[in-house]
Amino acid sequence: MNALVALCHFCELHGPRTLFCTEALHPPSPSPPQPGLSIAGDRDREADREGEGLTMRANGSASQRADMCEGCRSLPASHPGFVSVDNETGIRFLSHQHPRQPQLFSVVRQACVRSLSCEVCPGREGPIFFGDEQHGFVFSHTFFIKDSLARGFQRWYSIVIVAMDRIYLINSWPFLLRHLKLTIQGLQNTALKVFDSEQCVCPQRAVRMNSVFSPAVFPHQRSGNAARSLPSLTQHPDLWASLHSSFSWLLKACGSRLTEKLLEGAPTEDTLVLIERQTEQEEEMIGWEGAEGGCSLPQRNQSDNELGRDFLCDGGKGEELPGPKFKSLRHLRQVLGAVEFRQLAWHVLMGNQVIWRGPDPSLIQSAFSVLKALLPVGCVRSVPYSPQYEEAYRCNFLGLSPDVPIPAHVSSSEFAVLVDVVNAEPNAQCPTLLNKVEVALSNENLSVEVVSHCLLCLKEEWMNKVKVLFKFSKVDGRGREDTQKVLALLGATGPGEDDNVRLLKFWITGLSKTYKSHLMTAVRGGERTLSQ
């Protein structure tokens, strides 16, 4: 992440000060050396020396030493700082009291002053965003640290993240807030223990109430209490090294969290649905973290997450379960047989609940992972392995252990299918999509990768038909006769017409909220124009 993280402190004698900052240095782009010019490595080392000189001048001049107390200083001027190197990308993370580049010194200084003076949220503790194009944009989180010798028994700090990319910083708000809270809570909890132990030895509130107060003595009392560093408040001897590790990880993780991808054409419905789900999860997490009375999710949501681990994610990202697995739709078809696979695929495409009972969770999860390729992402609701039956409105893919009983109304229903016992036979005329899928799977000349691309194209083709049907039937409110003409135009009539219509109606539930909202807005805008 092309940003800088800094810890700032409001000194009672000297005002806002920068205590510690971590910045990411990207490796120089390779270029052929030219005669008379220094190479990139020499320029980088010169910049390092220049930055170190700036820090030593900032900390080592006589005027600065007179204007700095122990609470305003983190590392001594002779300290080389902390350096971590990312072996994958070659990025170096440098930490010292001040930035290495002179241009960043004033930017960080201004962000420090604003975060501890005017740019604060209600209550003076919490996150806030400010900045401009010239001086950069800042994500700031202010907080208090307990101190038995400070005025009000607490000192004011802030962690600021400075970047020039406003959109990137705003999109990273939930991630930054979640992890900065962990760092801040760790500092506060450690300082609170030190504060309680000091209060047990010598209660400062009683001492202050019994002491004689006079305007002449007050400045000397304040100057004696002002110089307490953060390591002394937390009794953490390796505090700066720990903060370097935390800030370096934050810059690396935030930089790799969001990546740019080149998309050709408009995003697909699957992409829109996945973006909406990710946004909803982040908003829900922020809402529960900020809710009063605890930051844990309700018990039901926890059980839902345990039972319904999202199998839409790539298999390599989650935990790899041991045991046999289905590798592809073709592999599943070979194991089940052509007839049984056709029955199972028909139930999947029609939106019926697929119940798979067996003792091996990994086998069931792999089966659902390959069957998901037949449906749009928005139509998939999965509980990979559950100790009890879940209703069809909660999931259309359900994995159960062998001893879990199936309710009678489900066993006799034609809208559910058991993999170990087939309850309902598909119609003789299956949907057109299923026929095309079987043709692709049965063609041994096509590789698995080619078959996956073929399925993707078929899904996009039928999702376009779904959009047209949704526009005519749901948005425009056309009659049955007009809808039938549209179905004929889409090629959904003729053999398998009932299954085609049923498939299209089920896939309407997989349309993204973004598309539906955009379509309704466009229709209402057109009606408003015609009325005028």
The domain that holds 480 is classified in CATH as 1.10.10.1730
Residue 37 pLDDT level (bands cut at 50, 70, 90): very low
Q: Is residue 302 part of a domain?
A: no
Q: How does residue 140 score in pLDDT terms, banded at 50, 70 and 90? A: very high
Residues 195 and 337 in one domain: no
Q: Which of 387, 408, 428 is the last residue of a domain?
A: 428
Q: Residue 381 domain-assigned?
A: yes
Q: Same domain for 94 and 125? A: yes
pLDDT at 15: 82
447 shares its domain with 350: no
**Residue 163 maps to a domain:** yes
Asked if 416 and 460 sit in the same domain, the reply is no
Q: pLDDT tens, 432-444?
A: 888 888 888 888 8
Q: Has residue 222 been placed in a domain?
A: no
Position of tokens 């749009």? 376
**In this predicted model, what pLDDT tens digit does every residue of 335-346 receive, in sequence order?**
888 888 888 888
Query: Residue 237 falls within a domain, yes or no?
Result: yes
Can you state the angle between helices 448-470 and 480-490, rounded to 10 degrees? 160
Comparing 56-60, 137-141, 406-410, the range with the smallest average pLDDT is 56-60
Q: How many helices (H) and strands (E) in the chain? A: 20, 11
End-to-end CA distance of the chain: 50
pLDDT band, very low/low/confident/very high, at 321 (cuts 50, 70, 90): low
- The residue range of the domain holding 480 is 434-527
My answer on whether 187 and 241 are in the same domain is yes
- Assess if residue 64 is contained within a domain: no
- Are residues 441 and 415 part of one domain? no
User: What's the mean pLDDT in 391-395?
Assistant: 87
In whole angstroms, what is the distance from residue 515 CA to residue 521 CA?
Answer: 10
Are both 126 and 175 inside the same structural domain? yes
pLDDT at residue 483 is higher than 80: no
Looking at per-residue pLDDT, the higher value among 114 and 75 belongs to 114
Is residue 324 a part of any domain in this protein? no
As a whole-number percent, the residues of the chain with pLDDT over 70 amount to 74
Q: Is the pLDDT of residue 294 over 90?
A: no
247 alpha carbon, distance to own chain's centre: 18
Q: Which two tokens stand for residue 241?
A: 């090294």
Q: So what's the pLDDT on residue 248? A: 92
Tell whether 13 and 81 lie within a shared domain.
yes
The verdict on 355 and 491 lying in the same domain is no
Number of domain units in the chain = 3
Same domain, 134 and 198: yes
* Angle value at C-alpha 364, between 378 and 386, nearest 5 degrees: 80
Are the CB atoms for 81 and 93 separated by under 8 Å?
no
Higher-pLDDT residue of 261, 435: 435
Q: Are residues 17 and 147 in the same domain?
A: yes
pLDDT band for 137, please (50, 70, 90 cuts): very high
Check residue 523 and give its pLDDT: 64
Among candidate residues 428, 447, 473, the one where a domain is terminated:
428
pLDDT tens-digit map of 248-260:
999 998 888 776 6
* Ranges 304-308, 428-432, 440-444: which has the least confidence: 304-308
CA–CA separation, 186 and 158 (whole Å): 14
Q: How far apart are CA 214 and CA 110, in angstroms?
A: 36
Last residue of a domain, one of 406, 428, 450: 428
Q: Show the CA angle centred on residue 248, arms to residues 245 and 252, nearest 5°.
A: 135
Residues in the chain: 532
Which pLDDT score is estimated for 394?
87
Tell me if 322 is assigned to some domain.
no
**Greater pLDDT, 171 or 48:** 171
- Same domain assignment for residues 382 and 499: no
Which of 36-45, 61-70, 93-102 reaches the highest mean pLDDT?
93-102
Count the Cβ atoms, other than its own, within 10 Å of residue 517.
Answer: 10
DSSP secondary structure letter of residue 373: G
The secondary structure of 491-508, three-state, reads CCCCCCHHHHHHHHHHHH
